[in-house]
Amino acid sequence: MVLPEAFENYTRAMMGDDLFAHFAHSMQQDATAFVRLNHYKCPTAKMALAASKVPWYEYGYALDARPAFTFDPLFHAGLYYVQEQSSMFLAQVLRQFVQSPVRMLDMCAAPGGKSTLARLELPKGSTLVCNEPNRSRVQILNENIQKCGHPEVMVTNNYPKEIRQSGLKFQVILCDVPCSGEGMFRKNANAIDEWSVDNVNKCQQLQREIVAEAWQCLEPGGLLIYSTCTFNTKENEENVAWICQELGATTLKVKVEEDWNIMGNLLSAPATEDTTNKESKHSSAFNVYRFIPGYQDKPGNIYGEGLFMAVLRKEGTVQSMTEKTSKQKMRHQLSDNGQSIPTHWLQESQHFNFTWVKNELWAIPPSLQSQYEQAARSLRVIAAGINLLQLKGKSFIPSQGLALSSCLSPSAFPRVELSYADAIQYLGRNTITLPPNTPQGFILVTYQNVALGFVKNMGNRANNLYPSEWRIRSTHSPENITQIITV
């Protein structure tokens, strides 16, 4: 890989010769594959492949090899997520600072790596709004959120200004902002082609605009978690300094272990031009956390792709979430289009509010109801709670979100267990043949007893209801099964 010259000069000056040499060397190595188990949906899941634990997250693993995740049905069922290890540091932050239920917003959420991690780690009763302004990326985000299987989530497709205008308020906001992507160089050659000093400056400006909007959505005493996957100080320390100076935030100290090899503020490292400006001087006192491939290089170290994170507190006293939700009343809206609501599809259905949104029926948990109602007035809400069913002409089909939800009642549908070959056929949206004694109607198909989705058994054939946009597109069929996790 050839690094852009301006990047190399800038980064060498920022890191110093020694760290830069290790960093540049690590950039030439193959990226390690990491996965994170979905312990919420499947507490018994374990790694089957050779792997070592991510030091700061017990459900995260570095794999010795990179398997073809596409051909693992359990990947499509959402039992694990492929995410590089530095990003899993978010779990450490949430565990330390968020110990009672909160309303959290992920402002720049697609494809959903940090959102799905946050959803697993937030205290019970918390809600999470995952927002992504890009119309195609929000679909991938929604797919990953559905696979995660947690009901207390809403997905929106808006710009930060629109979220602010909606009046929604949060106690925790993650701004994992779009950046110049220097940490993506190893994985994505486009990130190298698109890199320029001009782009770094543009990113810095956009990041400040996003944070300024997010800040107004943050309740007093709330936390703003700022992160990028880039290395330069303009998009990192300088922006944190700006947030402190212009918005009045203070940075918080995250508990880290010495052997996690996390670096701090790079502006206190060998001088760069920037150390003369006021933002940079100020930032030297800040608590910031940097994962740099090659930092404290020694044999056996495993590196992710790079991450910068800072946790900032807004002045004031945080209002507890329970005060706000306790006054809410449960509402079971009656169907307004002649369909009766199949509440028995859900475990503990009495806890949900049922709402028709165009031709879909959503089951919304009470903790999310008032946020959903407020959001629905002005925002593009892509999903909230569990998408139970879709109307198709005069009939309906159960939704994929229901199949993957942890709230699906185990006795709601007859189940058919698929072989590996049939599971791959099903996920490719191909026709599968069901055993002769299978009842007619909707059938939940499973692999290793884990739900994959629905088919409608017509007797002489089974209609595959797997979402067309989610299907495995590869026509290749692996000869050997690689068991990545066990359940």
* Active-site residue set: 229
Pairing mode, strands 46-47 and 80-82: unpaired
Among 178, 342, 428, 478, binds ligand SAM (CB under 6 A): 178
Residue pair 235/203 in contact by the 8 Å Cβ criterion: yes
Q: CB of 242: closest distance to ligand SAM in angstroms?
A: 17
Residues 6+ apart with CB under 8 A from 52: 61, 62, 302
> x/- contact string, 95-134, with ligand SAM (CB under 6 A)?
------------xxxxxxxx-----------------xxx
Residues 6+ apart with CB under 8 A from 283: 233, 237, 238, 240, 241, 265, 267
Residue number, 160 or 385, with CB nearest to ligand SAM:
160
* Residue 353 phi, psi dihedral angles, 5° rounding: -100, 135
Residue 45 in marked binding region:
no
Amino acid at 15: M
Residue 108 in marked binding region:
yes
**What gap in Å lies between CA 272 and CA 290, rounded to an integer?**
18
List the structure tokens of 171: 């106690």
**What gap in Å lies between CA 95 and CA 98, rounded to an integer?**
6
Residue 314 in marked binding region:
no
Q: CB of 213: closest distance to ligand SAM in angstroms?
A: 8
Closest CA to 218 of 104, 326, 128: 104
Residue number, 67 or 111, with CB nearest to ligand SAM:
111
Amino acid at 220: P
Q: CB of 206: closest distance to ligand SAM in angstroms?
A: 6
> x/- contact string, 186-225, with ligand SAM (CB under 6 A)?
--------------------x---x---------------
Residue number, 132 or 279, with CB nearest to ligand SAM:
132
Residue 148 in marked binding region:
no
Residue 112 in marked binding region:
yes
Number of residues interacting with ligand SAM: please give it, by CB under 6 A.
19
Residue pair 434/415 in contact by the 8 Å Cβ criterion: no
Residue 422 in marked binding region:
no
Residue 176 in marked binding region:
yes
Among 121, 143, 176, 219, binds ligand SAM (CB under 6 A): 176
Sheet order of strands, 441-447 included: 415-417, 441-447, 450-457, 462-464
Q: CB of 262: closest distance to ligand SAM in angstroms?
A: 18
Residue number, 162 or 360, with CB nearest to ligand SAM:
162
List the structure tokens of 346: 């859900």
Residue number, 176 or 279, with CB nearest to ligand SAM:
176
Residue number, 23 or 81, with CB nearest to ligand SAM:
81
Q: CB of 118: closest distance to ligand SAM in angstroms?
A: 9
Q: CB of 84: closest distance to ligand SAM in angstroms?
A: 10
Residue 376 in marked binding region:
no
Query: According to CB under 6 A, which residues from 136 to 165 bind ligand SAM?
Result: 137, 159-160
Residue ranges of the annotated binding site are: 108-114, 132, 176
From the annotation, which residues make up the binding site for S-adenosyl-L-methionine?
Answer: 108-114, 132, 176
Contacts with ligand SAM, residue ranges (CB under 6 A): 87, 107-114, 132-134, 137, 159-160, 176, 178, 206, 210
